[in-house]
Homo-oligomer: A and B are copies of this chain.
Amino acid sequence: MPTGNLGIAPLDQSARPRDTHSDLTTALDLPSPYLLFLGDVDQKPFAKTAFGIRDWAPERCVGEYACEGNALSLDLPFMSPREARAKGARALVIGVASMGGRIKQSWHSQLFEAVEAGLDIVNGLHHRLASVPGLADAAAAKGSRLIDIRTPPKDLPTATGRKRSGKRLLTVGTDCALGKKYTALALTRAFTEKGLDADFRATGQTGIIIGGGGMPMDAVVSDFLAGAAEVLSPDAHDDHWDVIEGQGSLLHPTFAGVSLGLLHGSQPDVLVLCHQAGREKILGLEEDFLLPDLASVIDLNLVHARRTNAAARCAGISLNTAHLSDGEADAAIERVSQETGLPCADPIRGGARFDALVEACLTS
């Protein structure tokens, strides 16, 4: 994950037509600006919601807040909910993406503090805000809203497999939390800057907060997984691109089912494989699940992708090099490009390599 403000301008919401969205996808009108809450999470990958919002919607962030003693920081001004309210904040956003999506007991007092200060709370975890004892009453007394965004639309259909019109790109990963959302956002922006008609299609809590809509794939009842992905990127005109945020990894023992349902339902024409330089095993599990070579990962994704779109191809690799120096990053990118025979770039670093990756996506 990138560190600090990398000079990325926010996505221009007005430039991304939303009228191709099906009525079934979640349409949101979230109260902003935000105070981003880190809880007691001290590892960046598990605070990826906060970092993602800071990087892609900085104009909507007034500050950060956390449990006492938490050293993790977004490099935003640290302030209490009361201070944030005085500076114009309208909501506290839970910026944590923990495994299983629980609202931890240790955050409760801060959530009450937010409500007392007159802030709404925006929550993308599986657990509902109303499950925090007394919070709903406290919010009602203050007129604050408790907003759970990880709520799939009702009456999702099962997937039909019918081939839809328009073009689709899906970011897939070797693991979680290494750049699938950032890559999809960066590619959407690059496509749009080239004058193409492109929509970012969010599939997780952070993407949905950034993009203002989408499908919380991992909250969908599993029978409807691929169906939800079909709903998320409906028929469009032939030159339209849906750039779909990937979820998890086919190699992840916890989340591969979500990844496969999304892959089948998305019917991608183009895959971009996302990886973090040097990551050798799945993050966050006690047992070691080693990652195979990238070519095997691409092959496995293509075998499944071609089940619903025979023309699916992998355009290249998006390599997260945020933890490397410029020289190390260049070398790592070159190594992956040589190893796979495909364009490779770090979208956050941009440059000619990223331009080449964008071209490879568009040139079939």
Binding site for B on A (CB under 8 A): 99-101, 126, 157-163, 217-227, 250-251, 253-262, 264-265, 282, 285-287, 289, 300, 303-304, 307-308
Closest to A161 in B: B253
User: What chain B residues lie within 8 Å of A227 (beta carbons)?
Assistant: 100, 254
Contact B157 A100, beta carbon cutoff 8 Å: yes
Q: List 24 A-B contacts (CB under 8 A).
A: A101-B223, A126-B223, A158-B254, A160-B254, A160-B287, A161-B253, A161-B254, A161-B282, A162-B286, A217-B222, A219-B222, A220-B221, A220-B222, A221-B221, A222-B261, A223-B255, A225-B258, A226-B255, A250-B260, A250-B304, A254-B264, A256-B260, A256-B264, A256-B304
Complex alpha-carbon distance, A158 and B250, angstroms: 16
Cβ–Cβ < 8 Å partners of A223 in chain B: 100-101, 126, 218-219, 255, 258
Within the complex, what minimum Cβ distance (angstroms) separates A153 from chain B?
Answer: 14
- Name which residue of chain B comes closest to A299, CB basis: B303
User: Do residues A285 and B221 form an inter-chain contact, with CB atoms below 8 A?
Assistant: no
Is B217's CB under 8 angstroms from A287's CB? no
Q: Are B161 and A287 in contact (CB under 8 A)?
A: yes
Bound Cα distance from A298 to B286, whole angstroms: 29
Neighbour of A260 across the interface among B126, B260, B289, CB < 8 A: B260
B161 touching A289 by the CB < 8 A rule? yes
Residues of B within 8 A of A257 (CB): 222, 225-226, 257-262, 264
Inter-subunit contact A218/B222 (CB<8 Å)? yes
Chain B residues with CB under 8 Å of A100's CB are: 157-158, 223-224, 227
Could you tell me the distance between the alpha carbons of A253 and B267 in the complex, rounded to whole angstroms? 10
